[in-house]
């Protein structure tokens, strides 16, 4: 099997627009993943907070001295 130049190098150069589109799509997918993880964490913490608040009765206000 003979190694050819096309196996190691791209035969054509990519345009600047194509490079920026690839970078843009990669960045957007990373941002979307981080946003989904943050929203999931927020919902979990909110549910825990609401369960804790529902389980503990609110304290009665202290009586004022006259």
Task: Say if 41 falls within a structural domain.
Answer: yes
Residue 48's pLDDT is 95
pLDDT digit string, tens, across residues 8-57:
776 677 788 999 999 999 999 999 999 999 999 999 999 999 999 888 87
Task: Say if 62 falls within a structural domain.
Answer: no
Task: Say if 59 falls within a structural domain.
Answer: no
Residue 13's pLDDT is 74
Task: Say if 33 falls within a structural domain.
Answer: yes
d(CA 41, CA 46): 8
The range of the structural domain enclosing residue 29 comes to 18-53
DSSP state of 1: -
Task: Say if 36 falls within a structural domain.
Answer: yes
Task: Say if 66 falls within a structural domain.
Answer: no
Residue 65's pLDDT is 79
Q: What is the tally of structural domains in the chain? A: 1
């Amino acid at each position: 099997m003979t190694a050819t130049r096309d196996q190691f190098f791209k035969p054509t150069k990519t345009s600047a627009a194509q490079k920026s589109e690839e970078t843009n799509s990669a960045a957007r997918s990373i941002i979307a993943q981080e946003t989904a993880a943050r929203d999931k964490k927020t919902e979990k913490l909110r549910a825990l907070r609401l369960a804790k608040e529902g389980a503990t009765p609110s304290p009665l206000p202290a009586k004022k001295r006259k």
